[in-house]
Structures are given as C-alpha cells and as structure tokens.
Amino acid sequence: MASRLDDSFSALSDATRRGVLEQLGRSDASISELAEKFQMTLTGMKKHVGVLEKAGLVTTEKVGRVRTCRLGRRELEEEAAWIERYRRIWDARFDALDTVVEALKQQEKIHGRRKRG
C-alpha cells in the first residue's frame, strides 16, 4: 500500500498532472491534444501521462498512431483515507491549542483586573 500511496501522491504533486486529470474528467484526449493544451512538448506530456498511468489514475490506448488517454478506473479511496486520518490528528491538535489559548485569555482577564484595581 505504501508504494501505491507514493505513486499516487507523486503523480498528484505536479500541477500539470492535476490539470491533465481535470481535463480527462471532462473528456478523453490524445497525448497530442494534451500537449497542445498544456503548451508542452509531446515527449514532456508522454512523461506526465506515464507517471499518471503508473499510479493507475490514467489509462491509454493506442489506435493507429494516436494514443488516447482517459481516467483510470482506480479511485483515490486509500489516499483519501490516509489524508482523513491526518486531518483528524491535526483537528485534535488545533482543538487542544484552542483550549490552551482560551485558558490563557481567561488568566489574562483575571490578572489584568487585579492589576487595575
């Protein structure tokens, strides 16, 4: 599973690859069309598509001279679960910090009143 998460997050870490996924979410496209849309070389786009394909996020099919890309069948459930675990940890930490900050504010109010009086 760690390798799968590594592949997914590596693929998603690049803005161009995220853009390719968004584009393929709207419609299938050839590598040439994607390269043109993202203003890059065909070789560069092939590399991006290869990373997405390795992660299972994109599939390609070659018909004649055209390689068509589409979204892969794999969903990001494991990745979403991993992110959710860490979101809960951070939420708990921020809640604890809020508690400390509120306690300090209360102490400041009490000590502030004593000094004035």
What's the domain range around 41? Answer: 2-71
Is the same domain home to 90 and 60? no
Residues 58 and 81 in one domain: no
**Are 89 and 51 part of one and the same domain?**
no
pTM above 0.75, yes or no: no
Q: Domain check: are 61 and 22 in the same one?
A: yes
Minimum mean pLDDT range among 7-11, 12-16, 93-97, 113-117: 113-117
Tell me: do 64 and 7 sit in the same domain: yes
DSSP string, 33-94: HHHHHTT--HHHHHHHHHHHHHTTSEEEEEETTEEEEEE-S---HHHHHHHHHHHHHHHHHH
**Amino acid symbol at 4:** R
What is the distance between the alpha carbons of residues 38 and 54, in angstroms, rounded to a whole number?
Answer: 20
Together in a domain, 80 and 52:
no
Q: Same domain, yes or no, for 53 and 109?
A: no
Nearest to 11 by CA among 39, 47, 44, 61: 47
For residue 1, the model assigns a pLDDT of 67
Q: Domain check: are 53 and 82 in the same one?
A: no
Confidence band (pLDDT; 50, 70, 90) for 4? confident
Q: How confident is the model at residue 108 (pLDDT cuts 50, 70, 90)?
A: confident
pLDDT digits (tens, 9 = 90+) for 30-67: 999 999 999 999 999 999 999 999 999 999 999 899 99
Residues 25 and 49 both lie in one domain: yes
Q: Specify whether 80 is located in the same domain as 114.
A: yes
Q: What are residue 69's phi and psi, to 5 degrees?
A: -110, 145
Number of structural domains (the chain) is 2
pLDDT at 75: 77
| Sequence-ordered list of residues with C-beta below 8 angstroms from that of 45, at least 6 positions apart, any chain | 20, 31, 34, 35, 38
Could you tell me if 23 and 45 lie in one domain? yes
DSSP-derived letter for residue 29 is E
The average confidence (pLDDT) of the chain is 91
In the sheet where 66-71 sits, what is the strand order?
A: 29-30, 66-71, 58-63
Mean pLDDT, residues 20-39 taken together: 96
Q: What is the CATH number of the domain that holds 51?
A: 1.10.10.10
